[in-house]
Structures are given as C-alpha cells and as structure tokens.
Structure 1
Amino acid sequence: MTISARVHYATLALIELALRQPEKAPVAVREISQRHGIPGPFLVQILRTLRSAGWVQSIRGSQGGYRLAIAPAELTLLEIAEAVGCPETNGQTDATDTPANRMLHDVWDAASEASRAVLARTTLAEIAARTAQDDAVMFYI
C-alpha cells in the first residue's frame, strides 16, 4: 500500500481537528495549512472530501473553519486512506508469468495486507493522543 500525499495531509488535518475538538471552536484552513505545511488549495479539496464523508463540519463566516464531526475513536487510518483515495498497489505488472513472478506477487499481497491491518487497528484518537503527549514533552525556548 502506498500512502499518497493526499492521505498524509488528510490525516494531518484530522489530527489537528481532533486535538482542537475540546475547544469546540472551528479551526481555520489557514491555521492547519501553516502549522503542517499543507498547500492551502489542496487542503480545501481534502477538507471537502472529509466533509462529504461526514467526518468534518464546515462553519462559514469570519470566525468559521472546520471541526471534527465524529469522535476520533470512531475513525481508523484505513478508513481515512480509503475515503481520501489511497491507491491499492499490489505489484501487478505485465511481467511474464513465472514462478518467481508469482512468488513476488504473493509477497507484495502479504505486505499490503499487513499494512492494511496496521491502519485498520489504529484510530485517529490514538494518533491524536500520542501527538498531544509528544507535543507536551517538547521544550520551547
């Protein structure tokens, strides 16, 4: 499984919204973009996809932005990857059908299944909690 920039950025945006969920205030696209280095127009497209999935709410106006619409524990990284459009790669090629080629396909399939299993058991809440803990440990001067 290849994790695209789109999936990575979507997950970063969702982590930011999960961390800010207790505040209940919407988070501006500009804040997410600047904090995580995500190009603004690309982030807007991603947030629209996440809104269509029902995971974020958009709030209009000068104090508007986005906020998480579901509990972070209800969302896995695999669901995010699938919703945002993570392409499934399994090493399929036009190579000649040989024992070595078939064996490699089996290995690529096993690797893909292993990565899907990790993403399926990892929730947004877990990543947000680990991020918050790591951020609290950092010492700023």
Structure 2
Amino acid sequence: MVELSCKTKYALLALLELAAYHQKREPLQIRQIAEKQEISDRYLEQLLATLRRGGLVKSQRGAKGGYLLAREPWQITLLDVVECLEGLESSTPEGSPINTAEKAVVQEIWQVIDDNIKRQLQKYNLQTLSEQCYHKQRTDLMYYI
C-alpha cells in the first residue's frame, strides 16, 4: 500500500478546511485551521508557505487576513498537492544501463505503477473530497433504531 507522508496528510486536511470556506471568499487564519484539524500552528505555517509557493493557496494580509485557495476546489487535484509537497518523482530505476531482460522488465513494471499512481491522484480533487466529507458527516449523524 502506498503511504502518504504526514506532511501531505496534514496539508490535505488544511486544504479541505479551506475548500469548505471557499464559497464565502473569507480567508481562514492558521490558528483556526490548526485548532479544527489538530495540527501544530508552526507546522501548519510551514505547510501553507509551501502550498503558497506551489500556487495552491494564497495569503491575505491584514487584521482579517489568512489563507484562501488560489484556485477553485475542483481545479486542485491530489496530484497537484503531492507534486507540490513531495515532488512525485518517477520510481523507475535510473542510472544503470538496461542491459538485461530482467532490468528491462522491472523498469517497465515500475513505469506502469508510476503511471497508475499519477492517474489515480489526478482523478480526485478538493471538490470531490469535500463532497465525500460532507456525505460522511451526514451519514455519521444518522441514528438507527
């Protein structure tokens, strides 16, 4: 199973929080996001700075300042987030020449795996994740007798 780093998980939580407030066009402050998602303020500040440099969020200065999504939620894919934070490099072995059938097969398989991972990450965006969160919250609130 592919495991996301804590950095990416926390960034996704922060981005989902920003996506939930996106329609209001009101920035969220770091402490608001940190408190709701139980993330350290300082760590979140670093993550948001990276996401800002990557063009996924923008900051607004002032007393009512904070962070906003830089694009519409449906325009920010998981691939965008992972590439911004992790640099999603190809895991195909490089450097050594492919001089055996075994090396060629291994390289071909890793390329297929890389392509599949990128394709799956491209399928999901902040809008679809926000909708899934909304439906999950509504389902969790239902009481059964």
The two structures have a TM-score, normalised by structure 2, of 0.77
Partners of 2:14 and 2:100 in 1: how far apart? 44
Please tell me whether the aligned partners of residues 2 and 87 of structure 1 are also in contact (alpha carbons under 8 angstroms): no
Counterpart for residue 137 of structure 1: 139
Structure 1 residues without counterparts, runs of 5 or longer: none
- 1:47 alignment partner AA: L
Deviation of 1:139 (Å) = 2.2
Structure 2 residues without counterparts, runs of 5 or longer: none
Counterpart for residue 80 of structure 2: 79
Q: Secondary structure at the match of 2:141?
A: coil
Deviation of 1:94 (Å) = 8.8
Deviation of 1:60 (Å) = 2.9
Query: What is the percentage of aligned positions where both structures have the same residue?
Result: 28
State the Cα RMSD in Å. Answer: 2.8
Q: Secondary structure at the match of 2:91?
A: coil
Partners of 2:3 and 2:54 in 1: how far apart? 21
In the alignment of these two chains, the number of paired residues is: 140
- Which has the higher mean CA deviation after the structures are superposed, 84-93 or 53-62? 84-93
Counterpart for residue 123 of structure 2: 121
Q: Deviations over 1:117-139 (max 9, x none)?
A: 01112222111111122123222
Change (3 A) 1:91 1:39: farther
Q: What does 1:1-141 align with in structure 2 at a 5 Å threshold?
A: 3-90=4-91, 92=93, 99-139=101-141
Please tell me whether the aligned partners of residues 55 and 68 of structure 1 are also in contact (alpha carbons under 8 angstroms): yes
Partners of 1:92 and 1:6 in 2: how far apart? 25
